A and B are shown apart, each in its own frame.
Chain A
């Protein structure tokens, strides 16, 4: 059983039209299916029918996120192991949702709903799958050119508990760990693919979302992206461009029109993609401000406490 990527992030938003406008005109996604009350969007750097689903609601939240499994048989195995670990598990039939095959749905100890699937409609590159032009038609002109969903950062009342579940049930591993005051994980950056995190876990209320992160394709693209955000009146953090000490990524944070935090970043380092190969980097509480924001060497607690 292996998770090949974290994808299919489902957000509830307080104004669907504004949200679609943000994720298409500003971020560079495109709508593949639009129906009453929801929109399905794909990113240019991914071949699936959709990577992001937006649903109209009276609240802004992470409704669920998806894990794409490497084998159809993984769903049955996951149903067993997640059930054994105490999670409520249910099945969703193929075809119930646009583009999506059968899925196994369960809740993490942190109350987040996870949809595990193998089959999702393949739509391929925008330039086609046969002899594609490496320079795409500029469908994302004027956007920040987000390439892929890189990771989700979720909140857990007990970080260690969730990290154990992700490790033991889903075969994730930690690339970096903040050691909390009690010696247990205070935050952790966990991977299931060849990058330093597919899921970040930070302390906070159950089912909480800290941010959805989008990959840019260069450090320069992050800088240009910030210009685009300012141009479109999207408020970014006061200092705009910064760098995380953790992994040294070049990054910026901002919010979508419903107040859901987005990240646009570049530079995560590669990892083995399979657990148990490399021990994690450890951060002490006293050094964490530098780990979080390397240029500022300070962390406004609003960044940690104000989440959706």
Chain B
């Protein structure tokens, strides 16, 4: 079942888009015309770390514990490049997101 992902920003702004089963939140955002900050796309660099505010995610691959658990603050993060949505989810990506000015082909097809 296609879930709905809602991104919530620092200032309370939000956007929502569909996230089909097996598709990462990062890929779903791209298809919808949004860009998350993703660098390695392999769960290692932490660029896409986000706080899960509501719902349930699944991991589609291993992630580096250095990036999911911040020892200094004790905070736990999900890495959106390795996350698929099990239910509708609400997440706060630490680095926010941008609107992709190009209208992607994959979005047109959806």
Chain A interfacial positions (CB closer than 8 Å to B) = 14-15, 58-61, 235, 255-261, 302-303, 305-308
Contact = CB atoms under 8 A, between A and B. Distances in A.
Chain A binding surface, main DSSP class: loop
Instruction: Give the 4 A-B CB pairs with smallest separation, nearest first.
Output: A259-B44, A259-B40, A14-B62, A259-B42
Contacts of B67: 59
B42 A255 contact: yes
Contact of B61 (A15, A303, A306): A15
Interface string B12-46: 00000000000000000000000001011111111
Nearest to A258: B44
Nearest to A237: B39
A61 B67 CA distance: 11
Given A59-B66, A258-B64, A14 B44 contact: yes
A15 B64 CA distance: 10
Interface residues of B, number: 17
B62 A258 contact: yes
Given A60-B44, A255-B44, A306-B47, A14 B63 contact: yes
Given A261-B40, A302-B37, A306-B39, A255 B45 contact: yes
B60 interface: no
Contacts of B47: 302, 305-306
B69 to A, nearest CB: 10
Contact of B42 (A257, A302, A303): A257
Interface string B58-79: 0001111111000000000000
B37 A61 contact: no
Given A261-B40, A302-B39, A58 B65 contact: yes
Contacts of A308: 40, 44-45, 64, 66
A302 B64 CA distance: 18
Nearest to B79: A259
B65 A258 contact: no
Contacts of B46: 306
A15 B62 contact: yes
A258 B42 contact: yes
A107 B44 CA distance: 23
Contacts of A58: 64-65
